Structure 1
Amino acid sequence: MTGLSLDEPRRLSGTLIILDGPGGAGKSTAVCLVAETLTVAGVAAHPTSQPSRAPLGELTRHGTDTYRGMALACLCAADRHHQLATEILPALADGAVVVCDRYVASSLVLQGLDGLSAEVVWQLNRGVYRPDLSVILTGAPTVINARLRARGGHSRFERAEDNSEMETGLYLHAVVNLRQRGWPVASMDATTDTIAAAMVSLIQHVLTEKSSACL
């Protein structure tokens, strides 16, 4: 299916930036560094993550051993819709740059590992806000896996022995899927030490384009 996501919400003055990729790719660290860099530069930045820190998000985050398949997919989607309504969209309406660790691409990958089709995932996420940019971290699965094992797995997906290789491959498919739906996507090597700087450069480009479009 091509084109924009179903029931596209109206665009807001803020900017939604997503950082996604396999567990152990360094997303959480990069989100914090990007938000700090933007703040120092005088840009209102709002870092966040999915699952959210709300009760529903915590249930989802810590429930991967209990919930699987459609049940987990519904929890992830419900938390995303709730977080959009209560946190992300208000921040965007205030003009902030929201930098989010994980979004729909993670659902395409993790729910895909549970056997759900991409179409089912999109139906559950119908009407979510389209990011201004989704950055998908890629890289050698062996390097990402070494990082993941060093910090320990946070879910049953990350504890699986072949997780890094499986996730890396599925994220490549997710990039294609997102682009087919008109989502702006960039891929970035997660094994370099310049992820945050490269992301800030991309964000500044997005902000410049957005500002020019409003003139």
Structure 2
Amino acid sequence: MTAGRGLLVAIEGPGGVGKSTATALVTRLLKSEGLPALATREPTDTDLGNLARHGTDEYQGEAMACLIAADRFMHGEEIRPALERGEIVVCDRYIASSLALQCMDGVDQEFVWLLNERVIQPDLTVMVSGQPDVIEARLAARGAHSRYERADGSSHVECAYFAEAAKFLRKKGHRVLGVDASHVPAEEVARSIVAAIVRLRKDHQNHDAGRADVQLEQSVPGARGEAAPVSGAAAGVGAGADGDGAQRGV
């Protein structure tokens, strides 16, 4: 657990997959179960975050990676107190988005990690994925939000980079839950995520009470009903703040 008794949950995935909707629904469902939850997003709705959100054409490569990391550290000033209050913080985009989009932008993966290894680490990273052709159709319907989405075949490229980001985070000991949302109602996706969060929260509470250890390998219902692994050692080892500068606003 990152701090206090709270949990930090990052909702990640390529543009057009429905992260913002998932974040809102997950937060609503958690609150309906009487659990304290806070929805937030990156880039943040601050001057620094808006600079990153609307500056994808002006800022690129390492400059963008540093800008987004700076926003994440500032974001930690909001996240940390919420965690200390015992809240479940649900963030639309976080470290995985940096590992995917900045690397997609030509930045070395290890450099991106170096910028982010001292921010507050998520207790659970939820990778919302989908079939690239389905995502492409959604983007065409809603319009591109950044130069990343305007590129030909962007969805196929983004999906590949997010898959690599998931592998990277697992190797770093992060819990990563995969959910395929290609043809699944948003409510069902959200319920799958909430089930994982509730189980993780219970494991943490039992561990704190000295009754059980946090399970490092868990299974929760995936969006299609299959078992989706939640893998990795306990996260929350970093100290900075948070602020994934997803270079787009979804």
TM-score category of the 2 structures, normalised to the smaller one: over 0.9
Q: 1:157, 1:174 → 2: CA distance?
A: 16
Unaligned runs of 5+ in 2: 210-250
1:197 equivalent in alignment to 2:182 = no
Residue 147 of structure 1: which of 138, 146, 153 is its match? 138
RMSD between superposed Cα atoms in Å? 1.2
Which residue of the partner structure matches residue 115 of structure 1? Answer: 106
Residue 83 of structure 1: which of 75, 89, 97 is its match? 75
Which residue of the partner structure matches residue 17 of structure 1? Answer: 9
Which residues of 2 match residues 172-191 of structure 1 at below 5 A?
172-191=163-182
Which residue of the partner structure matches residue 38 of structure 1? Answer: 30
Q: 1:211, 1:152 → 2: CA distance?
A: 43
1:129 equivalent in alignment to 2:120 = yes
Query: How many residues matched?
Result: 206
Which residue of the partner structure matches residue 203 of structure 2? Answer: 209
Which residue of the partner structure matches residue 168 of structure 1? Answer: 159
Q: 2:140, 2:80 → 1: CA distance?
A: 35
**TM-score where L is the length of structure 1:** 0.93
Q: 2:37, 2:152 → 1: CA distance?
A: 36
Which residue of the partner structure matches residue 61 of structure 1? Answer: 53
1:98 equivalent in alignment to 2:89 = yes
**TM-score where L is the length of structure 2:** 0.80
Which residue of the partner structure matches residue 156 of structure 1? Answer: 147
Contact 2:99 2:165 in 1 (8 A): yes
- Detail structure 1 runs of 4+ shifted over 2 Å in the superposition: 9-12
Contact 2:31 2:37 in 1 (8 A): yes
Q: 1:133, 1:156 → 2: CA distance?
A: 28
Contact 2:37 2:88 in 1 (8 A): yes
Shift of 1:150: 1.1
Q: Deviations over 1:146-170 (max 9, x none)?
A: 1111111111111212110001011
Which residue of the partner structure matches residue 5 of structure 1? Answer: none
1:49 equivalent in alignment to 2:41 = yes
